[in-house]
Amino acid sequence: SQQGEEDPQALSIQEGENATMNCSYKTSINNLQWYRQNSGRGLVHLILIRSNEREKHSGRLRVTLDTSKKSSSLLITASRAADTASYFCATDFSGGYNKLIFGAGTRLAVHP
Amino acid sequence: DVKVTQSSRYLVKRTGEKVFLECVQDMDHENMFWYRQDPGLGLRLIYFSYDVKMKEKGDIPEGYSVSREKKERFSLILESASTNQTSMYLCASSLSRPPMGSTFGSGTRLTVV
């Protein structure tokens, strides 16, 4: 399978704590993206990191990419109850594909 | 506010019915996608389209077809609905190919009974 895989499947933390989610993939990529999905809704694009980048920030989000290990991590700092959602990584493969492959997601629960 | 609109949030259909799921985007994007989402499986690509009247099969096209007569509209068709097609269906569009930040609709939860 070319699918990215998120780890852990579920994460439960308290408000104010940091949340880290990981994504692994199998083949060379052009870029890796993270999306968020609130319960029963569509996905919202959070951040994109290109294969030649190692780290990227957006507000409370920090994404790292290690192409040698074929893995990425999403860090949400100082989490809030409103961050409760599922988070998905998506990759496009540099082997000529023109589509995104999504992982199964990490369910994050942030408790007040 | 730019958006992707899916015509129905919830839909219940009978086995064997022909089902149309409609998706409209107002961003003038050339690229549109249909995914289905099932617990533990993430999003799986059914069909995509990079231009009007153009379509390409995704990873799980069996039992589905699509229509793209106008740039802004991409329809997913279940030729003869079956219970294993009960799922959440998500439409997305993107400006670039491959997608670098897709915009998703709110989803249609289809139940086939």
- For every one of its 113 residues, what pLDDT tens digit does chain B have, with 9 covering 90 and above? 669 999 899 999 999 999 999 999 999 999 999 999 998 888 999 999 999 988 999 989 999 999 999 999 999 999 999 999 999 999 999 988 777 789 999 999 999 99
> Within 10 Å of residue B10's Cβ, how many Cβ atoms?
10
- Specify the 3-state DSSP secondary structure of B47: strand
Would you call B107 an interface residue with chain A, using a CB distance cutoff of 8 Å?
yes
Segment A86-96 shows an average pLDDT of 82
Q: Which positions in chain B touch A30 (Cβ < 8 Å)?
A: 98
Largest CA distance in chain B: 38
Instruction: Tell me the helices (H) and strands (E) count for chain B, helix number first.
Output: 0, 12
Residues 6+ apart with CB under 8 A from A75: A18, A19, A20, A61, A62, A63, A64
Distance of CA B45 to the CA centre of its chain: 9
Q: Tell me whether B54 touches chain A (CB under 8 Å).
A: no
Q: Establish, for the pair of chains A and B, how many residue pairs have beta carbons separated by less than 8 Å.
A: 59
Place of tokens 């409370």: A60
C-alpha to C-alpha distance for A18 and A21, rounded to whole angstroms: 10
A34-69 residue pLDDT tens? 999 998 889 999 999 999 999 999 999 999 999 999
**CA-based max dimension of chain A:** 45
For A90, nearest residue in chain B (alpha carbons): B43
d(CA B100, CA A91): 10
Alpha-carbon gap, residue B39 to B97, rounded angstroms: 28
- Judge: A42–B104 Cβ closer than 8 Å, yes or no: yes
Per-residue confidence at A3, pLDDT binned at 50, 70, 90?
A: low
* Residue range A14-39: mean pLDDT, rounded: 93
Distance between CA atoms of residues B18 and B82, nearest Å: 10
Q: How far is CA A45 from CA A11, A37, A41, B14, B111, in A?
A: 20, 9, 13, 34, 27
Q: What is the dihedral of CA B65, B70, B71, B73, to 10 degrees?
A: -60
Model pLDDT, residue A63: 98
Question: Taking a C-beta distance cutoff of 8 angstroms, is the pair A99, B48 a contact?
Answer: yes
Q: Which residue of B33, B42, B101 is in closest CB contact with A3? A: B42
Q: Which residues of A62-82 are buried (b: 16+ CB within 10 A; e: fewer)?
A: bbbbeeeebbbbbebeebeee
Distance from CA of A3 to the nearest CA of B (A): 9
Closest alpha carbon within chain A to B37: A104
Q: Is the pLDDT reported for residue A73 higher than 50?
A: yes
